[in-house]
Amino acid sequence: MDLRLTFNEDPSNYEKFRPTYTDEMYKDVIGFSSLYGSKRALEIGIGTGQATLPFLKTGCKVTAIELGDKLAQFSREKFAEYKDFEVINQDFESVQLDENDYDLVYSASAFHWIPQEIGLPKVYRILKSGGVFAWISIQPAPAQEHIHIHEEFQKVYSRHSYFFRNEPVPSPQIRQQQAEKKRLDRFNALEQYGFVDIDTKSYYGTRTFSAKDYTTLISTYSDHKAMPDDIRIPFLKEIANTIERCGGKFTLSDTIILGMGRKP
């Protein structure tokens, strides 16, 4: 199974439960790229459009690339009122795009599916001189007050270790180090492929879930969706029961990591 296509199976829950991004982050990207009405932006991996609306609101033309046909159609319908918006139902690696054509290329929680040695040179080619690539991802972790719930989750995951890696829960200090490493790696990758004026930033937020909502969220994860139903359903029930036993709520702390670079 191509795990990239698992997201295509349930657009409505993907839309409802996947994280969005901060106003500050959008302001930084739009300001850095000087995006306004006459300019052109390309989104790689739109999904259901969690990161799209602020760019459409600038008045610029937005073209989105989306591998999943159901996700592509969902986003077409979601943003139908915007006449300068289109979705191409294809993978970024093979889609034919004009070189030196875009003022901004951005990707939110999707670019990790594309090998850097393919994705970054292509992004560079399709940007105009002075154009910007914004590379966005989210690193979720259990909130400090709910580490004990996550530790209980690990007991459930360990019983299904043939599907999942049973990794220890990192301390807040380790999580911060991981986020900083990802920022540095992103800076180095952008520099390696010729981008200049590179800037990396982090933003923070939290999400709190009921047992039902959290199990619906993890059901949108590619590795969880790949589980056979006869295993996934009781697995999710165990996770839900764990949350209910521990107070009925589970909170994630999100670190949003942004890397931006400009084509000379």
DSSP secondary structure of 19-57: ----HHHHHHHHHHHT--TT-EEEEE--TTTTTTHHHHT
Rounded to whole angstroms, the Cα distance separating 122 from 8 reads 24
29 neighbors 258 (Cβ within 8 angstroms): yes
User: pLDDT value at position 240?
Assistant: 98
Query: What is the structure's pLDDT at 7?
Result: 60
Show the tokens assigned to 107.
């990707």
Distance from C-alpha of 90 to C-alpha of 68, rounded to nearest angstrom: 8
pLDDT at 170: 61
Give the three-state DSSP class for 129: strand
Q: Looking at the domain covering 3-262, what would its CATH class be? A: alpha beta
Q: What is the pLDDT of residue 167?
A: 57
pLDDT at position 183 is: 83
Give the pLDDT confidence score for residue 32 in this predicted structure: 98
Domain ranges (residues) in the chain? 3-262
CB of 97 within 8 A of CB of 227? no
Residue 169: per-residue pLDDT: 56
pLDDT of residue 9: 64
Q: Residue type at 179?
A: A
Q: 206 has which bridge partners?
A: 253
- Per-residue pLDDT, 172: 62
List per-residue pLDDT tens for the chain, 264 residues long. 454 545 666 677 778 878 889 999 999 999 999 999 999 999 999 999 999 999 999 999 999 999 999 999 999 999 999 999 999 999 999 999 999 999 999 999 999 999 999 999 999 999 999 999 999 999 988 999 999 999 999 899 888 776 766 555 566 667 778 878 888 899 999 999 999 999 999 999 999 999 999 999 998 887 888 888 888 999 999 999 999 999 999 999 999 999 999 999
- Listed in sequence order, the DSSP H helices in the chain are 11-17, 23-33, 53-56, 69-78, 116-126, 147-158, 172-192, 211-218, 222-225, 229-245
